[in-house]
Chains A and B, each alone.
Chain A
Amino acid sequence: MPGCSIRALWILNNQDNVVFSRRFPVVERRWHLACQKEYGALYKEDKRFGISFLLPGDAEIASAFSTRKQSEGSVRGYGIRVASSALGSDSWVDDPITRHVISLHIEKEEEEMSTLLWPLILHTKGPYRILILPLVEPAHLEAYKEMLQRPDCGNSVGMEEGISSLLLDLPCITGAFLVGHVLGDIIVGDAQEPEVFVAASPTVGGLLDSLTGSIGISGIAARSKPVAAPVAATTGTGSGAAGVVVSDAPRNSSRLLDKELLRTFISSSMPFGTPLDLNVSNILAVKANGFQSSDLPPTDLKQPAWKPYLYRGKQRIMFSILETVYAAMYDRDEIPDTVLISGQVNCRAELEGLPDVSFPLAGLSTAHIEVLSFHPCAQVPEHGVDKQALMFSPPLGNFLLMRYQAYCSLGPPVKGFYQLSMVSEDEGAFLFKLRLMEGYKAPLAMEFCTITMPFPRRKIVFFDGNPSLGTVATTEHAVEWKIIPSGRGVPGKSVEATFPGTIRFSPRATMKSHGSLSFGKGSMVDDESDTESENLNNVVNIEDFLMEKMNKDLPPVDMEEPFCWDAYNYAKVAFKIVGGTLSGMSIDPKLVSIYPAVRAPVDFSAQVASGEYILWNTLGRCPSAASSKV
């Protein structure tokens, strides 16, 4: 049964040039031994297989990647078989995963045919494209080649020779994705640790002082020496967060590719191409600080590989629950609103030795929890999640202890409606009627709330309207209504707000679409003028007619998008609520126990932020999905 080993990796920039590459010859040797076993000693010379046996050079990779991009329409490719998909191309396989696990056809000058290289894990981050080639058996590559070459009308769902079976058999693909994500974070200087907010309340006396002083550098204190990864103790960004963020994550503001950092990380995390540890903070701390004779291992226990240093200093634990609300608000009888909460419990345990921590999760039994996922350090019994208590042995620094998904136990934080009625092609009237925090009580407080009406494909030339509350600002393509401005939080009471207004756009002819990726052979030609008057006579509803006209030249969206945003009118809500959770999930600091027993203050904070929180235009078309509660 295979683990995960990587033959080579390449990083390309947005000009499709290879800017970094790394090969692992010992893994390559294993690949060649496997090929020899499968195809005989002279496999390299045998062109019948059409397989790329030898690792291509950087130039060949760059050229093959560029060719694929052209034939597949974009960096990732179509992912779905389209009219222009050719036999042998990834989109021929007709599966969206082929936008992430790609193949390249390597052209050798001296040979007449191209050879296949697969599976290449593609991860994009910032301007970079990371390609990782894990080691698979030749038979796996043959199986994929078969899929690419099947001349029929496609692979049926759940067939034995399908790509699903390959992905199940190949943990190396899963591992390579994780490697890709970590490398991506490193190259853009975005190796984030989960945020832990510490409430600046007097109950944790002197905490704020010590955060900017010693506690913020507690990771360093624990390591008894300066740490490469600087510990950020910055104040919460945006909207004046009531607390500070504690983190050990390295912050690299430079956007230039730090090749030395990459080399260091790769050589430590996967010395022979086999990933052994992908924790950036730990690896860089070990590289920068090493160990002293005074760093003694525990006398009675073995120190885990995921905790290379033991904490020394003042002890405490911090928990932060961060919830993100996703909502599609329709205000229609035939479509129910959907409100979904995605939450995470972040933790930072500054505890000496290797203790176990446990606590009952209030809300776990009462909140409507749908999904629960845990950090590897949590002990989840065989029969599943224990509703009573959660036990874990904390690693160093900030970590994401638990993720959950739940339904809102309170009402939606922002509800009401948004209506936009187009009276002509370029002019419309709108009305918002909203209730914020209805039924919410202190200590829940809304720190800010902003509503944005985006019109990415129209240019706003005139706007008129006065909200009952807050201020309004317009930009070329959006109207922004700050119902509750930052810094003027509304604690625990419900707020009503209305906002009627009119808006006019410049005529459409000059407009180009924004934010959508063109793929396929979509025509952007504006040819509606001939048929316009004819259609106007046939269509009774002017709104439908206008929408249809507007949508005629919409380019297709990327597969990462949930739908074609530009085809709809909507208002996007952004807010932050502090002082609790909306799911009911909570941690009682008094019930947190540590084994072996030690006195350590426990801090708990919670906050809620908006994710995609959309008020769909009640008078227009809106995307929806069937409810699974059948």
Chain B
Amino acid sequence: MEKPGKQLSLPEWESLIEDFQSGGPTQTKWLTLYPSPSLLELALNTILRKEFPIKSQLIFFVEEFSSVMIEPLDAEPALGSVVQALRALVQSPIDGVSVTYALKEQMMVSMTSVVIVADGLRRAPHHLESLVALLLTVINRPNHGPDRQSRAVACECLRELERAYPCLLVEILGHLWTLCQSERTHASQNYILLLTTIVNNLVSATTSNARAKPGVPASSSPSILSTSIPLVPFNRPNFLVNSSSAPEFENGVRSFAGRELSSVNMKELRRVVAFLLEQPQLLTACGLLEFMSMLMGVAVVLGLQVSLLKVQFSGLIYSYDPILCHIILMLYSKFSDAFDGEEGKIADRLALISKEVSAQLVFRLLSVHWLLGLEVFCLKKDKKQTIVTMASQFYPHVFDPLALKALKLDLLVHCIIRLDHSLAALLPSANKRSEDPVMEKRGSQSDLDCGVRTTKLFEDGLHCVSAFKWLPPNSTETLVAFRMLHKFSISAIPHEVPDSSVTVIFTESASFCMLR
């Protein structure tokens, strides 16, 4: 191997990268030869060379393993080199060969990652500021043609910095809002997400007692959309200046949060959020997931009308994209009261997804789990459960994979148990009949109907794996069939319910008698 400081050849870099990825003692050997931060310096120098065949691989290597290449004490000079290397590349003119947009973009992402992982704000705040300023210069050209993708990537870098250091960019919110409004290329998604992240961090940082105090005069709390502070050069906000340790950083954010937002500020925030809510149709499904994850928190803090969100987004449940369906489930879990009465519609749709033969198996399995998850959620929130009325929708189809049949049988088991329980609830007690002969007759009739229904559900469910009767005992059909019987037995009387009346209800139920 080479002595420290000497350039590594291509095969040496390849073997070094492999050793690092594999982990273990070989990694340590390299680090002994190239102590912090010499390996990083060497890698950066190689990346900046005019020609090197595995540049992109090397950049990823630096990103993935910077934490072991930089000792905390060396962070300041190391991050200085990182930002300097990035600036050199970003400011080089595109020649299409050694300097391309793709290379610049990759370098922006990886070097931002290195700065965050080395905790740039605490260990090298000035280099962090230089990095932010460089990225801001990139994004400050809305609608410019050729570099739109680079602007999108730079927005992501800034967003990641804002995510790592909440409220880092809060003082330039006004500038970013203007840029976001101006951008009309496909990169607008990234401007929107950046703006949403800052707004989310801002509202999350403000304490509840500091919010919306109508009495606070506008002058005491300057506009949050002000553009009086220039975009570049970038200076981290004052409340982060003395954050040389993590607790101090948190205190800094808290002291900022303690600042009272005036009614004017709240109005400004509502304006920004109203703008953001007009944008979702521009976002990809993944972008929308990010957006909604943040916006839901903002909606709560700003007291937005959730019914509006419901109207705007509930159509997503009809999409075949599982991410969009999951967004609705997230909305429902967060704002279940606003969706009161809609549970049936959501459950219906999930049941239909589980039937879609053209959907990937795993998403059909997930839809069954979501249904069960929603049922548990409703139970917890004391809301009306819907699954039990939909039992016939969960009948497995003959061509359903056995994995799906097993899960649909879980749903049927759940329905059977709920029906058995509701039947028991109809009666005064599990083993005491009414003394009124009319009531007794009525009770017996519904008892009979319900019993017949649960027995039928049980038999119908088991039908799809009835081959267990004659297939070898180790067949998958046998496993699935006995799993259903097992689930029925253990779900009817959970371990944590030692109540003997439950046992009586179970052992007297029609389905148990049938099973016996």
Contacts and interface: CB of A to CB of B under 8 A. Distances in A.
A263 B60 contact: yes
The dominant DSSP class at the B interface is: helix
Interface stretch (A197-205, A209-217, A368-376, A414-422): A368-376
A304 B112 CA distance: 26
Interface stretch (B232-240, B409-417, B508-516): B409-417
A480 interface: no
Interface string A145-182: 00000001111111110111111110101110110010
Contacts of A59: 22-24
B314 A171 contact: no
Nearest to B160: A272
Interface stretch (B3-11, B39-47, B222-230, B362-370): B362-370
Given A295-B145, A628-B393, A22 B189 contact: no
Given A277-B286, A342-B356, A405-B355, A563 B494 contact: no
B463 A625 contact: yes
Interface residues of A, number: 144
A557 B163 CA distance: 47
Contact of B356 (A159, A338, A371, A547): A371
A551 interface: yes
B49 interface: no
B398 interface: yes
B149 A291 contact: yes
Interface of B: 21-24, 27, 56-57, 60, 63-64, 66-67, 101-102, 105-106, 109, 112-114, 116-117, 143, 145-149, 153, 156-157, 160, 163-164, 183-190, 193, 279, 281-287, 289-290, 293-294, 296-297, 310-311, 314-316, 318-324, 326-327, 329-330, 333-334, 345, 352-353, 355-363, 365-366, 369-377, 379-380, 392-393, 395-407, 410-411, 413-414, 417, 456, 459-461, 463-465, 467, 470-472, 474-477, 479-480, 483, 486-487, 490-491, 494-495
Contacts of B114: 25
Given A297-B143, A560-B361, A564-B477, A171 B326 contact: yes
A165 B376 contact: yes
Most-contacted residue by chain B among A80, A168, A260, A628 (CB, 10 A): A168
Nearest to A76: B403
A385 B254 CA distance: 47
Contacts of B106: 267
Contacts of A602: none
Given A153-B490, A293-B145, A567-B467, A630 B476 contact: no
A482 interface: no
B370 A164 contact: yes
B311 A382 contact: yes
Contacts of A381: 315
Contacts of B376: 158-160, 162, 164-165
Contacts of B471: 551, 554, 564, 567
Nearest to B322: A174
Most-contacted residue by chain A among B375, B413, B479, B480 (CB, 10 A): B479
Most-contacted residue by chain B among A164, A279, A298, A405 (CB, 10 A): A164
A279 B463 contact: no
B356 A26 contact: no
Given A403-B358, A405-B355, A162 B372 contact: yes
Contacts of B282: 302-305
Most-contacted residue by chain B among A260, A342, A562, A567 (CB, 10 A): A562
Contacts of B330: 1, 171
A625 B398 contact: yes
B284 A563 contact: no
B369 A164 contact: yes
Given A26-B117, A154-B486, A298-B184, A342 B357 contact: yes
Interface string A56-93: 11111000000000000000000111100000000000
A374 B460 contact: no
A4 interface: yes
Contact of A276 (B113, B189, B395, B399): B189
A508 interface: no
Nearest to B407: A96
